[in-house]
Every structure is written in structure tokens, then in C-alpha cells.
A and B are shown apart, each in its own frame.
Chain A
Amino acid sequence: MDLFLRKNLRDIERRPLRTLLTVAGILLGVAGVVAISFTGRNLAEAQRQTYAGTRQPDLTAFVSNLSPTLVGLIERRDNVAVADTRSVQFTRASSGSDWVSTQLIGISDFTDEKLSTLDLVSGRYPGRGEVVFDITATKLLNLKIGDLVALQPNAGATISYATISGFVRAPATIDASILNQATAFAPDHDVLRIVGQQYDNYLMLKVNEPQRASQTADEIGGFLSKRGISHGSFTVRDPNSFTGSSELQTLLLLLRVFSYVGAALSSFLVANTIAAVMIEETRQIGIIKALGGTRWTTMRTYLTFASIIGLSGGIVGWAAGLVGGQMLSKYLAGLSGLVLPPFSLSVHELLLAVAVGLGVTLSSAAIPAWFSAQRRVAQLMASVGVTSDFHRGLVQRVTSRLSRLSAMTVIGIRNLVRRPVRAWITLALVAVAVATFLATQAVSNSVNDTVDHLYALYGADGWLYFNQYLDLDFDRVIDQQPNVVAAEPWGNTGGSLGSVRTDVWGMPADTSIYTPRVIAGSWLTQANPYSVVLTSNLASRIDAHVGDIRTLDVSGTSTLVQVTGIVNDASTYLGATTTGKLFMRIEDLQTIAGVGGQASLFALKLQSSQPHQVDIELDQLEAHFKQYGPQTLATYKDQQSSRQAIDILTLMLNAMVVIIGVVGLAGITNTLIINLTERRREFGILRALGATATHLIRLVMAEALGIAFAGCVAGIAIGYPLARYLVHLTGTQLFALDFSLSLQTIGATVLVALAATAAISTGPGLIAARIRPITVLRYE
């Protein structure tokens, strides 16, 4: 075996703890990068498989009274390949305790679903009087096969009972725990009987040419409106996207950024270790050079050492990354109802692991190796390793007064500047970890705060839908209910401005429920052409300005509209595939949609906004207007589901931050151990002078806290712009975010970093306390 290789292997064996820490740092860095790459690839494949394997529809919409004749007519329209229907009802279910919002879906034939096929997880499909639940519903309800569940369309309605025959996973649907809503499937006739309706109300279409799906949606919308058939806006599915995909893509993007930060942190660890090894071996390098070794000989020796560490960390990191990636994919796919493909290896991730593992280690080892190789033999041979010099400077001045109080603290702090390069590297490592932590907190705070601000624009406590059109002034009837403060007729449908699909909202021009944040022009007015107000993201996307005249396509009808204002409202919902919103007067929207003077949706402001009270009041409204087929939705539930989706994003980011934090702490530990190794003699002398374990732990802790504190200060300086960048990045993926990073968050971050550092420094402190003076003085 090559002598240099043998030397390297023995060096690794001689310093097991330091080697282990360095390999662990690289392992974590590589594992993070590999896991994120694997998850991204896996989810993209899962999306493809789910779309193809479960026959996902391209267009969906709520349409009242979908008789077989009407479905037949729709199926014969241009570009429609397959039409299928469901009876989708928003009910509530109870398995013996609390009621849980449940989407009850009726399917006519479970063995022959044309579109959106279910995946049976356990049990069997339901027969008459039976029901199957989406398996994720078990997170909300205590459900078992054979149990009897109570189903009730609304509070005042008759309770029906059904036996659970099995569990399914509905493809491409969001986890029940995020939506805070269970999904159940039952025979179509049972569902229709429970809600007292004759026909299905949910239309699903597969089209021949997906690129014309938007146009087809508008045409069918127009077709329905002309026949006075009440329908909601069509959701056009992007084959390359899926429900919640933008949220997942945001998550993956941020995780990717953090995984590269983790890899960069690993490079600090390696640079630190290699630099320390080279300092320890300065004399050895001198001997090698004295024996005729060239610069390259020196470089080769230590680059080989780095390669061994890099390859070890890279390969183990690759394996750990694949395991982590598979777990992450499974978790995320489960949340979005995607069918995960079988585990597969890709050369891409292996190359990535080797490239990051070797690249990080070799590049960070090359610098200290190069500098050491440049030194002359005489310099190298004269070196005794760590310098015993300490020069006057800022640190000396700052700590001189402190020495009367605690010499150990002073020694610890002054030790920091004895190895400035190492101190800087460690400081950078801590700074990046702190900055990342701050940035993550900023992202999650900003998203949360923005969601709160956006929901604050909508003063509605709930929504009341009817399965038929009622007069626009029906709001006066609703207003008369005891707990209703205000009711307004609203409308919502899909539309297009040019090629950009958007949500079209109709509401009274003098709405008291919506608070527009007008940033240009003015709010809605009665005008000709119709006055519309665009959200800023939509205006930006289509380059629209106040005063522009544009063509709006709604329900197959093209109408000229005039942009009178632009508002700041980037509120969205989970799985949204449209861009921004267009607001217009409810009267104008309903006229364009062919249902002038009528509405089926009413926004409600209730006396109490407390969730429990809102539930009671909405139940009472449902019971009161039973004859119109009402359905209600509480705003707080919508907000909760948005928050829960964000919580998952925060959870994942925090998990990544924990990894980065561990790498940062490993860096401090590494530095402390290197310092300890270099200064064994000094610790021995202190022991000889009577210093106890507590004294030495205090000394090591002071050194660690000194680095951590300086790192925190630098981390805050780096963290602020990083936080701004990541919030901006998240905003471009999700919706425009208000930047939020509080002083409390910064303070808490510093405290956590210092506490963690103090905790981990006790390890090296105890090692220092175990140094026996005789072992360092024996050879004096």
C-alpha cells in the first residue's frame, strides 16, 4: 500500500472523534442534497403516474341537476372525450363523538368508474347502506371497518346511518388532516336519498386536447348558463400540476436552497479539520519536504486524506439521502394523494452525492494544503504547532477588566483569536446556521401573517350556497335572520383575460364584507363597458393598467370590460391553478353569465366570529333555508386548512433547519476538540495549578459561547437579506408575502443558539477535565 495512504488511514484511526464529526458533517450535507433531489424526481413521477393511472379529469365543476340526458349532451360537445358525474355533498359525520365536516361523494358504480378511480386500501367497496372513507379521514375520526357512522347534511336534517365497509385513498386529493375535512364514498342512490336530490351535482370531463381545456370549459359554461343551469366555475387541471403542487414545489425549492446551505456548511467543517491536521503536522510536512518531497507530494498527502473522508461521507450520505428522500416523498405524496412509484435508483443522485462529497472536501482541503505546501522546510521544521504567542489587540483590551472576575472566561475568549482562520471558519459556520434559522422563521412568519392579513380582507364569517338561483335581493331575507349582521349576493366563476385564466368574483359595489386595498384607480362603479378591478398579481401577469379595455371570457361569452382599479389581494386557496382575481359588480357578472338578477352564493357576516358560534349559526341557517338546498362553509375552516398546509411547510423547513443546526453545532464541537488537542498542555498546567473540572468546562464553554455569540451577530447580518430573499422566493411560488421578522424571533434565535452551544460545549469541557497533568508534563 502507498505509504502516504497508509499514513492517512492511520491518522484517521488516530483521531476517531474528529474524523467522525467531519464525516458526519459531510454525510448530513450530502444526504440533504440527495434527499431533496430524490423527492423532487419521485414526486414528479408520482404526479405522472397518478394522472395517468387514476384517469384524472381535465375539467371539473359543480353543476346542479346533472341528468343523464344533460351529461349525454355535454359528452357530445367538442373536445370532450369522457364525462362522468358524482354526487358531492358537504355533510358531517360522526363516529360517536364530535361531528366532523365530511365530503360525501356518491358513485353510481364502484367497479366501473370512468374518471378519478379510487384505490381500495382495505375492506371492500360499499353496497347499499354502506360507506367507505378515505384512509386519511382516520386522522380526524375514530373509524374501523364494521363501525356505524352517522351522516347528516346539516344540523336540522335527518340523520342517516351507514356501515363502514372499507377504506380507500382518493387519488390527487389533499390529506384530511390538512383540509380538516373527511371524504367518504357511498353508492350514488344512497347519497342522493340522504340529501333529497334527484341527480348528481359534480361534473368531471376528460378532454381530447388538454391545451384547449380552458376554451372547452368556457364553452360548456356558456352552454349551461343559456339553459339556466346553476353551475360553479370550472377547474382546469394542468397535466403537469396537481392539487397542492405549487405548495409542494415551494417547499422543495426552499428545501433545495437549504440543502445547498447544508453542503456549504460541510465544507467549513472539512476546511477546519484539514487546516487543523496540517497545523498539527507542520513538522511532519517539513520532514517530508526535507526528504525530497515536493509541493505536490504535500498536496497529494492531504488531498488523499480529504478524499477518503469525502468519499466515506458521500457514499453514506447518498444512502441516507435515499432513505430520507423516500420517507419525505412518501409523506408528501400521502398528503397530496399521489401514487408513489416503486423505489428506484438513479445515477443522477449517486453522481450528485459523489460530486458534493468529493467536491466539497477537495475544494475546502485544497486551500490549507496549498498554503502549507508553499512553506519552506526551515519554517516547517522550526514550528512547534500551536503558537504560544498572544498579541495585544481589541480582544485583550475588552477582556482585561474581566480577568479579575473570571480568568477562565478570559482564557476561553482570548483563545479564540489565537487561531484566527479557524475562528473565522467556525464563526462563518455558526453565522450561516443562524442566518438559515432566521430566514426559515421569517418565511413561516411571513406566510402566516400574510394569510391572516388576506383573510382579514374578507369580513365574511361564512358562505351560504344554494343549489338553485335566487333573486339578488334574497340577501334581505337572509338579513332578517337573528344572528346575521350582513348578507350580500356574491358570484364566483372562472374566466379568462386573453390566455390567462383567473377567478372572477362578483359582489355589490358597496360591499361591506370585502375590504379592497386599492393601490391604483378606484373600486367598482356602474359603467359601460363593465367596471372591473384586478388583483395586482393578475394585472402584472397580463400587463394591465387602470383605464385599459380588455376582453373577458366568462361562460363562453366574450365581453369588453374596463379596468377601473387594481387591488392588493393575493389570497388563494390550496390547489389553486388560476392567476389572481377579477372583481366586478354582481349584477354585471350575473348578466354576462346569463343569470341576470339572480345569485346562488351569499356572503355572511354573523354576530359572532367564534368558531363554535359560527358553526351553530350556519347550522341554523341551513335548517331555516332547507327548501333551497343550502350548503354552508365557515371561513375559519378555510383559514384553518390554509394554515395547516402552511404548517407542513414550516414543519419541513424546521426539520431542515435542525439538520443545519446539527452541522453548525458539529462545527463548533469540531473546533473545540481541535483547540483542545492543540492546547492539551495548557489544560494540564491548569490542572496542575489546581483547576477543577468545573473550571475547565467554564473555560471551554466561554470559548464556545464567544464563537457562538460572534456567529449570531454575523448570522443576523446575513440572515436578514437571506430572509428577504427567501420570502420573496416563496412569494413568487405561492402568493405575494408581507415580510415579517420580529425582534422576538431574532432574540429567541440567539438564545437557542447560545443555549445549544453551551450544552454541546460541556462534552469537550469534560474531555478537557479528564486530561491528567502528568500526560502533558511527562516529557518536560
Chain B
Amino acid sequence: MPDPDEQHDPIISLVDVRKAYQAGRRQVQALGGIDLSIERGEWVAILGPSGCGKSTLLNLLSGIDRASSGEVNVLGRDLTAMSEERIARWRGRSIGIVFQFFQLMPTLTALENVMLPMQINARGSRGSRAHALLERVGIADLGGNFPNELSGGEQQRVAIARALANDPPILLADEPTGNLDSASGQLVLRLLEETWREGTTLILVTHDVNVATYASRVITMRDGAIVEDARSERRSINAIAANGS
């Protein structure tokens, strides 16, 4: 397990990042002057109520969205200066994303969904690696099933396997348990923890305080601003689950 205290290598750096949306004639300020630095190997939970800007922040980190102003530097790349095409290629190689609603391709089987990012990035041994990833998330026997033939928990496990397909150094998860029952949610969190233990920087967005407690660092947001940034000695999910708190 990585020790956050020994890692002082910031791989994400945000300086005075602002994001505004135009909603009809009205301008909505989603993020207002965010400064943030995340180091390699951290498990960061971004906590806050709906509409506080946490998902917007996550989208800026993946390059899915663009900041209105400020600097967004991820893995040494200034995302504000890159074209959409370059960001897409970079994202495919460097970032794994887990969505709340899984977002699997309905016309591909579970195995094919996991193979998809590898194929986009022209990675070899796709079939065997995809199979290994499904085995890792515990659903190797469901590889031939289409998404509509899987439960929510199973779909999210496929989504995690897909997110890990290219060994990304950063894994972003947007409310990964938000659409799951508690048992499935626990299972998904355990998988994320395993991934983090293997050295992946994990950034997880949630509005659930309990989910946030698993992280080594909890950033609380409100109205587009960071209102608290707390580091703590994190405990294993199993231990928390065993204590019932």
C-alpha cells in the first residue's frame, strides 16, 4: 500500500481554475477559483452536495471539459493548451474513468467493452488482458454477456475493468456507487481500493460521506469552491465494514 506521506510528486495541479456555463441568457459559475494539487498515489474523495461543482472538477481533470480560465496540469500536460484530438488520445492512455451510470456500449459484450480502450489505443493481447481484468473484478464467466444481461453491480465491475484496461496512472470515478445497492457498492469500493493499492492515483467524486471516509484525503466542495481539504490516516474498507462504521 502506498504511503501518502512519502509521495511528494504532484501529478495534478490546478491553479485558479474557473468554469462558467451559459444557461440561456444566464451565466452559471460552476467553479470559482480552484487551486488544487494532488500527488501520485493519493486516494482523494471529492465530497459535496449535488450541484457543488465536484463532477465539473472531475471533468476538467479528465479533459472531458475545459476550464474557462486558470491552469489545469495533469501528468505534466497543460490540458488547456491541447486540442480535442490530442486530449482524446492522451485520455485513452492516461486516465481511466468510471461513470455513475456505467456507460457501457450496449452493442458490445462485457469482454468486448473491456477490450475497447485497448483497441482504441492499439494495445496488443487485448483478449487475454480483458479476460484477466474481468477475472480480477470477479465476473470472468460473464464476459460474453451484453450489458442489458448484467445487473447494475456487474455492469459497474465491467466499467472498472474497462477503466483499468490501459493501466492508467489516474483513475477517476464519478459517484461509482451512486446507482448501486449497498452490497454492490461495497464490492465496487473494494475493487477501487485494490486498484489504489497497486499504485493508481484514485480520485472519487461522491455526495456520500461514508464513501468519502475510505479516502486518504477528503476535499469538500460547496458552491463551486473548496471549503475543506482534510488528510487522514485511511483505514481499509474491510476494517471499516467489519466495525460497521
Contact = CB atoms under 8 A, between A and B. Distances in A.
Interface of A: 388-392, 400, 403-404, 406-408, 410-411, 414-415, 418, 681-682, 685-693, 695, 772-774, 777, 780
B82 interface: no
B112 to A, nearest CB: 5
A773 B115 contact: no
A383 to B, nearest CB: 15
Given A388-B147, A404-B127, A780-B55, A690 B105 contact: no
B117 A690 contact: yes
Contact of B120 (A400, A418, A695): A695
Given A404-B126, A773-B64, A689 B99 contact: no
The winner among B64, B109, B121 for most chain A CB atoms within 10 A is B64
B126 A685 contact: no
A681 B105 CA distance: 10
Contacts of B65: 772, 774
Nearest to A406: B119
Interface in B90-111: 90-93, 97, 99-101, 103, 105-109
A440 to B, nearest CB: 37
The winner among B62, B108, B127 for most chain A CB atoms within 10 A is B108
Interface in B16-30: none
Given A414-B107, A688-B64, 10 more contacts: A389-B148, A400-B109, A403-B112, A407-B116, A410-B107, A410-B108, A689-B92, A690-B92, A692-B89, A773-B64
Contacts of A404: 115, 126-127
A408 B119 CA distance: 9
A415 B108 CA distance: 10
A390 B89 contact: no
A418 B89 contact: no
Interface string B148-172: 1000000000000010001000000
A768 to B, nearest CB: 13
- Chain B binding site: helix, strand, loop or mixed by DSSP? helix
Contacts, number: 98
Given A411-B107, A691-B92, A780 B101 contact: yes
Nearest to A413: B107
A690 B120 contact: yes
A774 B64 contact: yes
> Which 5 pairs between the two chains have the least Cβ-Cβ distance?
A690-B92, A414-B107, A774-B65, A388-B106, A773-B64
Interface of B: 55, 59, 62, 64-66, 84-85, 88-93, 97, 99-101, 103, 105-109, 112, 115-117, 119-121, 126-127, 146-148, 162, 166, 174
Contacts of A691: 88, 92, 120
Given A388-B148, A392-B146, A407-B116, A689 B107 contact: no
Contacts of B166: 690
Nearest to A395: B107
Contacts of B127: 404
Nearest to B93: A690
A389 B106 contact: yes
Given A410-B112, A689-B120, A390 B146 contact: yes
A393 to B, nearest CB: 11
B92 to A, nearest CB: 2
A408 B122 CA distance: 12
Nearest to A696: B88
Contact of B88 (A388, A687, A780): A687
A406 B112 CA distance: 10
B115 A403 contact: yes
Contacts of A414: 107-108
Contacts of B174: 780
Contacts of B162: 689
A692 B108 contact: no
A269 B88 CA distance: 35
B107 A685 contact: no
Contacts of B108: 403, 407, 410-411, 414
Contact of A689 (B59, B90, B117, B147): B117
